[in-house]
Amino acid sequence: MVIASLLGLPAFLAYFCLASIAIVLYLVVYTRITRHDEFAMIAANSAAAAVALGLSLVGFSLPVASAIAHSANIVDCAIWSIIALVVQVLVYFAARIPVSDLGDRLEKGEMGAAVWLGSVSVTAGVLSAASMSY
């Protein structure tokens, strides 16, 4: 019985490693496109930066999890993870339309801006994940 359970270990490791790489790639891309340095702000104890980046990461991880659950293979999962990354980047720019000074407000530690950006990111992530039910 234990051996039968362990037969799935290679697939688990492959998908988990792919997801981990996708998350690191997402964090690199996302933090490069924003005007502010989220990690420096978090290191300086900015709750606004932590909320915005953390919820953005949740918004990205939801469709990645859906891609893992629904993909035919690891390459398919990687493609859908990249699509999820592109969606989250576009969502960041869309969130700046009604709040044009979003970066400045986050740098000031304004929680309203952080919750707005995080909520938009999670909403897009939920919709992306649900749309990946191919």
pLDDT tens digits, one per residue of 36-74? 899 999 999 999 999 999 999 999 999 999 999 999 999
Contact of 82 with 21, CB cutoff 8 Å: no
Over 80: is that where the pLDDT of 133 sits? Answer: no
Please report, for residues 46, 93, 98, the alpha-carbon distance to residue 69 in angstroms, rounded to integers and kept in the order given: 34, 28, 34
Model confidence at 134, pLDDT cuts 50, 70, 90, reads low
The total domain count for the chain is: 1
Q: Which domain holds residue 102?
A: 2-131
Contact of 128 with 63, CB cutoff 8 Å: yes
Give CA–CA dist 53/49, Å, rounded. 6
Q: What is the pLDDT of residue 109?
A: 96
Over 80: is that where the pLDDT of 2 sits? Answer: no
Give CA–CA dist 22/78, Å, rounded. 8
Over 90: is that where the pLDDT of 3 sits? Answer: no
